[in-house]
Amino acid sequence: MTIEAATLSTRRRWAILVCALVAAMTTTAATSGFAYVIPALHDGGMSLSSAATLAAVPTVGLTVAIIAWGLALDRYGERRILLVSILITLAGTIGAVVAVATDAGTVALGAALLVGGLGSGAANGASGRIVVGFFPADQRGTAMGVRQMAQPLGIAVLALTVPVIAATAGVAAALAVPVAVTAIGLLAVYFGIVDPTLPTSGPAAAPAGNPYRSSGYLWRIHGFSVLLVIGQSMLWTFVPAWLITGHGWTPLSAGVLVTVTQVFAAGGRIAAGRASDLWGSRMRPVRVIAVAAALTMAALAVADQFGSVLAPAIMVLATIATVADNGLAFTAIAEWAGPSWSGRALGVQNTAQYVTIAVTTPILGTMIERLGYPAVFGIVAAAPILALPLIPRDPRPREEPVDVPGER
């Protein structure tokens, strides 16, 4: 099912985007949901490194399949592939609940988490075609910022519900939250998403050829994104345990703070996207964000080392800074790659980031056990500084903006 961009009303275009946002939350549920039962597992005797290793399994599954999902998105369109992939994700999340409820063991649990991760890749790499196909160039940063709210909003839902349910009703009940999020995402795709018709000629037609061969622009985006995602992963995965086991917060109070933080982070992604539209640049805001991420992570390390009461507030600022760049990178990739390559290019982007997350999560867990949180916060603060030289200049666009009547 495809539709011409010019036939869509403004309301319908944004409604499709919101449905894509809800669909993308299924990836967050499948890949990050387990991390929020780490405090309960740790209290039950599991080591932090072992729990972190299990939490990385869905990311491994996502990483293995995400480029293949991107190719399928480019070839068959987003709606059809999203329906298939989210059904697989739903099977995996249900399997995780069953494995824990029946005490089937870590192998069965790991297998279910792996299936959920394998299915989640399409939702995470989708929406490039929707943003480029349905929105003019001077709105795409904002539109992608809205779409990229999926991760922080998904984290907010998980943080507010999963630790509390795990502490009061058990891990199996807590893992039902990702099942519910995935089911809602499936309904959003079925009832709300259509694909834009791809023009075969004219200024909005897809660029010819492999976009990776024309310059190093995409490769540099992948490079700096890998470094910037380390801080994001660190905060998303370990902040609940940092608050609960390190600072004595209750699961409820920790969940509320993380939820509020992620709502602000979601707003930060929209603000970054809007800034890129107003500045006419995707990369200039990224440089500002990288510096802010380094400064706030370093400040968090110092505050936590000295037991400052300001540490949680600084954590909020650091979280906002470490997630704000993601939508800008996605927008730049989708624009440069074009609608016939955006799925694969975003698949490469996500693969690079999720390989980094899968590798660094167990390492960070081990480092925290040996060195403590302040030292690891300080080490992670160096990653955005290393990313700065990799951030490219904005190129001349490979395509002209899609002309949507009534939007100028």
What is the pLDDT averaged over residues 230-234? 92
Q: What is the DSSP string of 69-125?
A: HHHHHHHH-HHHHHHHHHHHHHHHHHHHHHHHHTT--HHHHHHHHHHHHHHTHHHHH
Quickly count: other Cβ atoms within 10 Å of residue 114's Cβ: 20
Answer for the pair 17, 147: CB distance below 8 angstroms, yes or no.
yes
Report the candidate in 224, 241, 246, 223 with the shortest Cα–Cα distance to residue 361. 241
Most trustworthy range by pLDDT among 338-347, 362-371, 375-384: 375-384
Three-state secondary structure call for residue 196: strand
pLDDT at site 279: 93
pLDDT digits 0-9 by tens, 117-132: 999 989 987 888 888 8
Q: Which of 284-298, 334-348, 383-397 has the highest mean pLDDT?
A: 284-298
Q: What pLDDT score was predicted for residue 3?
A: 80
**Are residues 195 and 78 in contact, defined by beta-carbon separation less than 8 angstroms?**
yes
Residue 101, pLDDT > 50, answer yes
SS3 content of the chain, % helix, strand, coil (to 5): 80, 0, 20
Give the separation between CA 358 and CA 302, rounded to whole angstroms.
27
Which pLDDT score, from 0 to 100, does residue 401 have? Answer: 38
User: Is residue 240 within 8 Å of 163, Cβ to Cβ?
Assistant: yes
Residue 314 predicted with pLDDT over 60? yes
Q: pLDDT at position 286, please?
A: 97
Domain coordinates in residue numbering, the chain: 2-198+210-390
> pLDDT category, 86, cuts 50, 70, 90?
very high
In the DSSP assignment, the letter for residue 195 is: E
Q: What is the pLDDT of residues 12-69, one digit of tens each?
A: 999 999 999 999 999 999 999 998 898 888 777 777 777 778 888 998 898 889 889 9
Per the prediction, the chain carries an average pLDDT of: 88
As a whole number, mean pLDDT of residues 151-170 equals 89
What contacts 140, CB < 8 A, 6 or more positions away?
131, 132, 277, 331, 334, 335
Residue 204: per-residue pLDDT: 45
Q: Domain 2-198+210-390: which topology?
A: Growth Hormone; Chain: A; (1.20.1250)
Q: Of the given ranges (45-59, 294-308, 312-326), which has the lowest mean pLDDT?
A: 45-59
Would you say residue 200 has pLDDT above 60? no
Residue 132 has a pLDDT of 83
136 and 77 Cβ atoms separated by less than 8 Å? no
Q: Which tops the pLDDT comparison, 241 or 87?
A: 87
Instruction: Sort 221 into a burial class: Cβ within 10 Å, 0-12 / 13-18 / 19+.
Output: buried
Query: CA separation (Å) from 29 to 36, 164, 182, 340, 359?
Result: 10, 16, 7, 28, 19
pLDDT of residue 4 exceeding 90: no
Q: Which pair of tokens denotes residue 178? A: 């990702």
Count Cα neighbours of 361 within 13 Å in the Cβ-side half-sphere. Answer: 29
Structure tokens at 78: 């987003």
Cβ(97)–Cβ(175) under 8 Å? yes
Q: And the tokens for 313?
A: 């507030």
Token pair of 104 as six digits: 């089937």
Predicted confidence band of residue 199 (pLDDT cuts 50, 70, 90):
low
Give yes or no for residue 275 having a pLDDT over 60: yes
pTM: 0.79
Q: What is the pLDDT of residue 133?
A: 85
Please report the pLDDT score of residue 374 as a whole number: 96
Average pLDDT score over residue span 305-324: 94
Residue 2, H or E segment: strand 2-3
